[in-house]
Amino acid sequence: MSAAVVEEPGEGPSRSGLPPGPEARSGRLRQRLQQVGLLLDPLGTVAGRFARYGDLYHVASDDGGLWVARHPEHLREVLVTRASSYSKKHTGLRQLARVLGDGLLTSDGASWQRQRRMVQPAFGRARMEGYARVMTEEARAACGAWRPGERLELSHAMMELTLRVVARTLFGHDATGDIQAVSRAMKTFQAELSRPELLPPWVPSPGRWSLRRATETLDGVIRGMIAKRRGQRRDAEAPDLLGILLDARDTEGDGEGLTGTELRDQLVTLFLAGHETTSHALSWTFYLLSQNPSAERALHDELSQVLGGRAPTLSDLDALPYTEQVLKESLRLFPPVYLVIRQAVEETVLGGYRVPAGAEVALWVYHTHRDPRWYPDHGSYRPERFARGEEEKLPRMAWVPFGAGPRACIGRAFAMMEARLLLATIAQRYRLALVPGHAVEPLPRITLVPRHGLPMVPTPRA
Ligand code: HEM
């Protein structure tokens, strides 16, 4: 590999050539098959490649090549300092856009900026108190329905709970009647959207058929939500997210309004992005606590001392630092968004190498979070890593479960508040034990999910 240094005005030294990487497979089909091979064990394959080639490697392909990174400084270059050189319209996201359309998560440029401005007020501080009340109420109702000693599928239970929370807080909607349909649709999206497209787009297949059905189901739920709200009086003082978007729909024509498709895309995006990730964060947390009794004990002690059995409120959260550390450590080991991808829209520089326009860059958050350089004994669950005074020692961008830069998660504060309130409410009432002998393994799909689910048994705490 050539490593000659060339000067580039204003950019500092940049190396010519490409970073090291695996041999290129010639031909599109062979490349696709290579991807399928990768899909059998992506976490292991990528870890092996980082070990072999270093922090930044390159996989050649006919469509511009893939750059793969894990170093916090590389993540910063792509997401923060050179963010404007990249777009979100990469191959994987184009798949996701088949369901999400062109909402906040998938759009770019001026359209994204306008959408972000429009949605932001729904996540303002003023709204959080009301959201917090709904969150604890839903958590109490959910675990109130569990039967002590009876096995439950925790990932389903958490999905149902976070779906109900997002529906009530952001859309003022009771999702009871939609849970089964949305859960089935989510399963289809997870299965169909994370596999590479081997067939040309016009070839019908059972996968494509079920994807269309699942999208129609979701659209039906969203249409129902809109129709119900249209029949109600609007709260002009403090509209919720659905109210904000419906008002924007009604002002279409003055340049700032939303078309019907834009409204649909935004609602689907926030409905899905607003519950799926948080539910996995909680499921992984209860699993990790079940495997780490000393962390579980420390959590229970904090909850007993601060809350003494009562429901947590927003103002309790500052007094629950260990609860937050527990969640941060779970998000480190099992980040629901384990991989962030971008496509270069212009020639740029990464790690000193020139990246051509059109190249895709994959940032493996999962591997950044499991790097022993930043996290000694990286496989162990140690919430103390995030204690005050310790967390500050981590390199910048070594913990990025919510992304970074202009496209960082808009729901971060909402999600961290929700996760703490739900965890504090449930863990006060129950211990959850994994069904003995059940194998737990992370499966990287659209998000990082437990491959064989998480069957757990709740036992009431004394
Ligand atoms: C633990 C829970 C969550 C995690 C781990 C998470 C993670 C992320 C990450 C990593 C990104 C950036 C993706 C990228 O740069 O390509 C993102 C973006 C986004 N998230 Fe979250 N998220 C969570 C919860 C939420 C919630 C609760 C909502 C909404 C209620 C939400 C809505 C969004 C939206 C709309 C975007 C796109 C923002 C933009 O591009 O402007 N997320 N999330």
pLDDT tens digit sequence for 274-322: 999 999 999 999 999 999 999 999 999 999 999 999 999 999 999 999 9
Residue 208 pLDDT > 80, yes or no? yes
pLDDT-based confidence at residue 345 (cuts at 50, 70, 90): very high
How many beta carbons lie within 10 A of that of residue 257, not counting itself? 15
Q: How far is the CA of 402 from the centre of ligand 1 (A)?
A: 6
To test the pocket of ligand 1, the residue of 170, 270, 272, 277 to mutate (highest count of ligand atoms within 8 Å of its CB) is: 277
Name the fold adopted by 111-334+384-460. Cytochrome p450 (1.10.630)
**Binding site membership of 340 for ligand 1 (Cβ less than 6 Å):** yes
Over range 21-28, report the average pLDDT.
Answer: 71
Question: pLDDT value at position 192?
Answer: 82
Lowest-confidence range among 18-32, 48-62, 171-185, 271-285? 18-32
Distances (CA, A) of 315 to 312, 321, 323: 8, 12, 14
pLDDT-based confidence at residue 462 (cuts at 50, 70, 90): confident
Question: pLDDT value at position 204?
Answer: 73
Question: pLDDT value at position 246?
Answer: 87
Lowest-confidence range among 19-28, 77-86, 112-121, 402-411? 19-28
**Binding site membership of 226 for ligand 1 (Cβ less than 6 Å):** no
How far is the C-alpha of 113 from the C-alpha of 393, rounded, in Å? 33
**Binding site membership of 410 for ligand 1 (Cβ less than 6 Å):** yes
Question: pLDDT value at position 145?
Answer: 94
Over range 342-352, report the average pLDDT.
Answer: 95
Which range in 88-92, 126-130, 252-256 is most confidently predicted, on average pLDDT? 126-130
Pairing of strands 353-355, 455-460: unpaired
Residue nearest to atom 31 of ligand 1 (CA): 411
Q: How much is the pTM? A: 0.92
Q: How far is the CA of 386 from the centre of ligand 1 (A)?
A: 21
**Binding site membership of 89 for ligand 1 (Cβ less than 6 Å):** no
Residue 2 pLDDT > 50, yes or no? no
Question: pLDDT value at position 231?
Answer: 77
Q: How far is the CA of 30 from the centre of ligand 1 (A)?
A: 33
With helix as H, strand as E and coil as C, how does the chain read? CCCCEEEECCCEEEECCCCCCCCCCCCHHHHHHHHHHHHHCHHHHHHHHHHHHCCEEEECCCCCCEEEECCHHHHHHHHHHCHHHEECCCHHHHHHHHHHCCCCCCCCHHHHHHHHHHHHHHHCHHHHHHHHHHHHHHHHHHHHCCCCCCCEEHHHHHHHHHHHHHHHHHHCCCCHHHHHHHHHHHHHHHHHHCCCCCCCCCCCCHHHHHHHHHHHHHHHHHHHHHHHHHCCCCCCCCCCHHHHHHHHHHCCCCCCCCCHHHHHHHHHHHHHHCCHHHHHHHHHHHHHHHHCHHHHHHHHHHHHHHHCCCCCCHHHHHHCHHHHHHHHHHHHHCCCCCCEEEEECCCEEECCEEECCCCEEEECHHHHCCCCCCCCCCCCCCHHHHCCCCHHHCCCCCCCCCCCHHHCCCCHHHHHHHHHHHHHHHHHHEEEEECCCCCCCEEECCCEEECCCCEEEEEECC
Q: How far is the CA of 274 from the centre of ligand 1 (A)?
A: 8
Pairing of strands 340-344, 353-355: unpaired
Pairing of strands 348-350, 5-8: unpaired
**Binding site membership of 339 for ligand 1 (Cβ less than 6 Å):** no
Q: How far is the CA of 413 from the centre of ligand 1 (A)?
A: 10
Contacting residues for 184 by C-beta, under 8 A, at least 6 apart = 214, 217
How far is the C-alpha of 288 from the C-alpha of 293, rounded, in Å? 9
Q: Which atom of ligand 1 is nearest to the CA of 105?
A: 37
Domain boundaries, the chain: 21-109+341-367, 111-334+384-460
pLDDT-based confidence at residue 395 (cuts at 50, 70, 90): very high
43 bridge partner residues: none
Residue nearest to atom 18 of ligand 1 (CA): 409
Query: For residue 50, what are its two tokens?
Result: 């980082």
Q: How far is the CA of 64 from the centre of ligand 1 (A)?
A: 27
